[in-house]
Amino acid sequence: MAASMEMQEEERDYLQKLPNEVLEEIFSYLDKDSVKNLRVVNKRCKKVVDSSKEILKKFDVKQANRLVIRYLHEKKFYEFRWCNYESKTARKIYITSEELKNDQIFYFAFKQMSFQRVMFKNLSNKSLSNEVLYFLCKHFSYCPKFEPTNLSFENVDFCVLSPTLLNRLLELCGQFLETFQINNAYGLNRNSINDSHIKQLNPLKIKRLTMQSMKFLSSIYHKKVLKITDESIKWLMGAGQFPTLVFEHCQITTPIMCRYIECWLKKAARDTVNTNIKSHSFMLKHCPSVSSEIFEKECIERKLSYSKSSPESSSTPEQTYTLFNENSSTEFAVSLC
Amino acid sequence: MATESANGVSSPELNERDVVITTNDNRNFTVKIGVARVSKTINNMIQDLGESLDLSSGIPLPNVDGPIFEKVLEWCEEHKNAPEIKVEQDPHTRERKWFTMTEWEEEYFRKFLSHLWDLAMAANYLEIPSLYYYTCQKLAERIKGRTPEQIREMFGIEDDLTEEEKAEIRRTNVWCTY
């Protein structure tokens, strides 16, 4: 072996002999493009690059204003698309359900990204699976910073998703969210979204919480309700901030709702001098424990003045109430149906 | 560290004394301690042995062979009084700053161009920062700007990625760039 060293032999197999530490040192001198090239050389080189803090720190963290996760049924893959408004960049990456098993596959990519808003869109036909959400949670945790302010689900089928995976996602980002929106969700059951999820939100941060157009698996009326109870409302108002709420099919009751309004009006009356907050709203739809009659009674008991209006086209039984502070111009709008 | 002594002999004196170093092919090298100490590994051995250090019976180096150690010694001789080198980063690009080498160093690497891998390994094991970082830089120089195919060919690396895997990697490479 010693003799062969003297020969001008080719550098065959040298890479195999070198410890990762030495390769990492060599690679750390290289520019970003060379490093990217190395990832395609072979598995070993890729592994050295992908697992090296020293090397990855060359790459700036890219701020994506929005990340949209979709499922393309005709092509049978998920699309992760992010865009940055300032640089007017948009990038897409695809992954098949099969590939989701490899929960490190995009390590290199996510390691350099930071997402401001995360949006799940058009995940119909059971495509919002536990696998894809697990995969994403794993990858979000690779981001140097995962602090999105906005999380939304739009046109999404919840029927196969385990509520604990939604807990997992909120564990990563719940405390940073300012907006949490679910719009046009279907395949729901009472646990799909529940108190435990709401309690993962940060009551100091959250400004808007909406759930609209919720459709349930069951067609039985009393089963078409989410296990979101008064507990959630207590949690949300606990920090003295009052997010704008739109709830549907929840177990929230009328008294807690009135208390929410009462507290907000008191706060608004106090704060009116130094803030511009003049109005607020709360919408409750299809919540079995909420009714106009009880609401009106509660208001009278609490000495809350209100005015009532019903829409002209009475196709929807929606009732709108406006509650106000008598000595200031703040008002609170409530819609019930 | 340089002021510490082994054998109760003060450092400058000790540096002038010889020590025998045996490589894994049983070759003996008689080296001035001041030169051998450029290697932190050897320096530690000398210090650990302390009183019991027998300069004539030798220090074994099971991971380095004679021909490479010879080349390493050339470096140590030249760098025995050199200050410690510092690894620096460009604050803007966050890329590693490249070292500027002396004419002697450039010549050294020209001479041993085909032994860079061995030198890197030996310098890593022997803990000779200057030789280690400089050799790595030389190797990086050879990789820089080459295509994956060229790199594979140059170093005889087996291509163990499928075309699909490569396409996947390229996709992630592109995904995270503006």
Domain ranges, residue B102? 12-144
Q: Do B156 and A12 touch (CB under 8 A)?
A: yes
Q: Is residue B81 part of a domain?
A: yes
Comparison of pLDDT for A271 and A52, the residue scoring more:
A52
- What ipTM does this complex have? 0.87
Mean pLDDT of A287-311: 87
Q: Is B86 on the interface with A (CB under 8 A)?
A: no
Q: Is B124 on the interface with A (CB under 8 A)?
A: yes
Q: Do A37 and B151 touch (CB under 8 A)?
A: yes
| CATH classification at residue B124 | 3.30.710.10
Q: Is residue A66 part of a domain?
A: no
Q: Is residue A5 part of a domain?
A: yes
**Count of structural domains within chain B:** 1
- Looking at beta carbons, which residues of chain B come within 8 Å of A91? 174-177
Rounded Cα distance, B98 and B87, in Å? 9
Rounded Cα distance, A215 and A196, in Å? 20
Q: Is residue B18 part of a domain?
A: yes
Q: Across chain A, where does the E strand assignment appear?
A: 62-64, 66-72, 77-84, 89-95, 113-115, 117-123, 150-157, 179-188, 208-216, 244-248, 279-285, 306-309, 319-324, 331-336
Q: Is the pLDDT of residue A128 over 90?
A: yes
Q: Is residue B157 part of a domain?
A: no
Q: Is residue B3 part of a domain?
A: no
Q: What angle do CA A228, A230, A233 make, to 5 degrees?
A: 90
Largest distance between two CA atoms of chain A: 100
Which residue is closest to A41 within chain B, CA to CA? B148
- Segment A220-235, tens digit of pLDDT: 877 889 999 999 999 9
Query: Which pLDDT belongs to residue B5?
Result: 42
- Nearest by Cα to A235 from A249, A224, A226, A245: A245
Q: Which two tokens stand for residue A147?
A: 């602090």
Q: Is residue A12 part of a domain?
A: yes
| Residue of B143, B162, B174 to mutate, testing the A interface (most A Cβ within 10 Å of its Cβ) | B143
pLDDT band, residue B89 (cuts 50/70/90): confident
User: Which 8-state DSSP code applies to residue A70?
Assistant: E
Q: Is residue A247 part of a domain?
A: no
Q: Is residue B6 part of a domain?
A: no
Phi (first) and psi of residue A205, to 5 degrees = -100, -40
Q: Which two tokens stand for residue A285?
A: 């739809």
Phi (first) and psi of residue A24, to 5 degrees = -60, -40
pLDDT band, residue B2 (cuts 50/70/90): very low
Domain ranges, residue A7? 1-59
Q: Do A30 and B160 touch (CB under 8 A)?
A: no
- Segment A246-278, tens digit of pLDDT: 999 999 999 999 999 999 888 888 876 666 667
Query: Which pLDDT belongs to residue A13?
Result: 62
Q: Which two tokens stand for residue B32?
A: 């001035």
Q: Is residue A221 part of a domain?
A: no
Q: Is residue B4 part of a domain?
A: no
Q: Is residue A180 part of a domain?
A: no
Q: Which two tokens stand for residue B113?
A: 């161009």
- Segment A162-216, tens digit of pLDDT: 999 999 999 999 999 999 999 999 999 999 999 999 999 999 999 999 999 999 9
**Count of structural domains within chain A:** 1
Q: Is residue B79 part of a domain?
A: yes
Residue among A1, A18, A34 whose CB faces B120 most closely: A18
Q: Is residue A208 part of a domain?
A: no
Rounded Cα distance, A173 and A202, in Å? 10
Query: Which pLDDT belongs to residue A6?
Result: 37
Helices A230-237, A254-271: axis angle to 10 degrees equals: 10
Rounded Cα distance, A285 and A159, in Å? 21
Q: Is residue B46 part of a domain?
A: yes
- Segment B9-34, tens digit of pLDDT: 446 777 888 889 999 999 999 999 99
Q: Tell me the pLDDT of chain A averaged across its residues.
A: 89
DSSP A111-163: TTEEESEEEEEEE-TT-S-HHHHHHHHHHHTTSS----SEEEEEEEE-TT--H
Rounded Cα distance, A251 and A290, in Å? 8
- Segment A313-328, tens digit of pLDDT: 656 678 889 888 776 7
Q: Is residue A332 part of a domain?
A: no
